[in-house]
Amino acid sequence: MVHGRVIALSVTDVRFPTSVDQHGSDAMHTDPDYSAAYVVIETDAKDGLKGYGLTFTLGKGTEVVVCAVKAFAAHVVNKELEEIVGNFRGFYRQLTSDGQLRWIGPEKGVVHLATAAILNAVWDLWAKQEGKPLWKLLVDMDPKKLLSCIDFRYITDALTEEEAYDILKKGKLDQKEREEQMLKNGYPAYTTSCAWLGYTDQQLKELCAGALKDGWTRFKVKVGADLPDDIRRCKLIREMIGPDNLLMLDANQRWDVQEAIDWVSKLAEFKPLWIEEPTSPDDILGHATISKCHNKVMFKQFLQAKALHYLQIDSCRLGSVNENLSVLLMAKKFQIPVCPHAGGVGLCELVQHLILFDYISVSGSLENRMCEYVDHLHEHFKYPVTIKKAVYMPPQDAGYSTEMKEESVRQHQFPDGDVWQRLISGQNV
């Protein structure tokens, strides 16, 4: 079905100066400029379709990811799209196991972010050529074909291909009903927009009141920099949202293990549902209750060690849809609810597709499940998320919702775009 040969892969360093207003600030990232390495893939097909992909970054370092994308480009350019998605497992492994580039990962950090940006563009193009939103492409896909996109290396001790096939076969049962349910009711979301660490109490109150009015019932608060400050802010929010709404905490890797235990016990009175990233994201034995991981091998162990109560997938840190599929399937086997990480630049746009697929075709459950939502930067996307009363409404446009507006990309290109040129001439950046 797919067609065309890749004739060009370009990548742009796009940055939004969010640090100016402390949007996105937390205990470890005090001044993030939400950014993306933004990939565009062109083919020689006459359909005029391009694939857009991105990975999310925090400002400085985006140029490093851009550099890594360029290093991978030779694996993509001049390939037939059919050659790529027809043996997607092989292509995935070609990127992640490049004999020279593997050394500077493997499958983690800069090279894995670059892999995600490139493969996100491939998935976008594939879905566009099929004329479907990505979630629908996945939902309609034959289980065998779907499994052929996953590299099972390093996870077969937790999940074999046969087990994955059984999960997907069972997922077909009542799939149609769940799809209709999603189209009608949407997927439940929680908001992180009210309580960034750098916000004043006044800002926090106003944002919280507005969110309640918009129907939000689940709220996440950034903590971990200063205990008395955390207590004051948690108290304030709990008072605002009342005893029945949900409250989640995120420490963004700030603590040592014992420190985390002590600190969280002081915040327990505010009844948080989970505490996110209490310590190093590498620390499986440090017992996070919810954690973002850098690859499937880390998720596998968190699941095997029963160190997770909720699992956060990430559309841009893992190796695109391919690796996220493997994690969704492992989560199903280990019966751990998936609550995706989102926010940043485009993470909401992308991850909604994955969690819709998860509900419709894998987990079949909404129990203890919700998808993060952050209300920033959607205006720069051509197909932004639709949130209605605190739920994600399934996107209808073909593709992976990854495409940004041309004008936004041009303006925010670092350092030559107008936005940056103005900031650089007017003030220190």
Residues that bind a copy of itself (CB under 8 A): 28-33, 57-61, 63-65, 67-68, 71, 97-113, 152-157, 253, 256-259, 279-286, 294-295, 297-298, 300-301, 304-305
Tokens linked to 419: 């936005």
Cβ closest to a copy of itself, residue 392 vs residue 420: 420
Nearest partner of 219 among 227, 202, 239, judged by Cα? 239
Q: Minimum distance between the CB of residue 155 and a copy of itself, rounded to whole angstroms?
A: 8
Cβ closest to a copy of itself, residue 110 vs residue 204: 110
Identity of the amino acid at 263: W
Determine the distance from the C-alpha atom of residue 121 to the mean position of all C-alpha atoms in its chain, rounded to a whole number. 14
Cβ closest to a copy of itself, residue 50 vs residue 294: 294
Q: Minimum distance between the CB of residue 406 and a copy of itself, rounded to whole angstroms?
A: 26
Choice among 222, 292, 300, 412 that is catalytic: 222
Choice among 50, 136, 341, 380 that is catalytic: 341
Q: Decide: 56 and 345 in contact? Cβ < 8 Å.
A: yes
Tokens 């379709």 map to which residue?
Answer: 49
- Phi, then psi, of 384 in degrees rounded to 5: -70, 160
Catalytic annotation on 341? yes
Q: Minimum distance between the CB of residue 86 and a copy of itself, rounded to whole angstroms?
A: 24
Q: Minimum distance between the CB of residue 249 and a copy of itself, rounded to whole angstroms?
A: 19
d(CA 23, CA 3): 41
Q: Minimum distance between the CB of residue 173 and a copy of itself, rounded to whole angstroms?
A: 30
Cβ closest to a copy of itself, residue 279 vs residue 402: 279
Cβ closest to a copy of itself, residue 154 vs residue 388: 154
Catalytic annotation on 412? no
Spatial neighbors of 44 by CB under 8 A, at least 6 apart, are 4, 5, 7
- Phi, then psi, of 321 in degrees rounded to 5: -55, -40
String of DSSP letters for 94-118: HHHT-TTGGGG-SSSHHHHHHHHHH
DSSP reduced 3-state for 393: strand
- Indicate which residues carry an active-site annotation: 222, 341
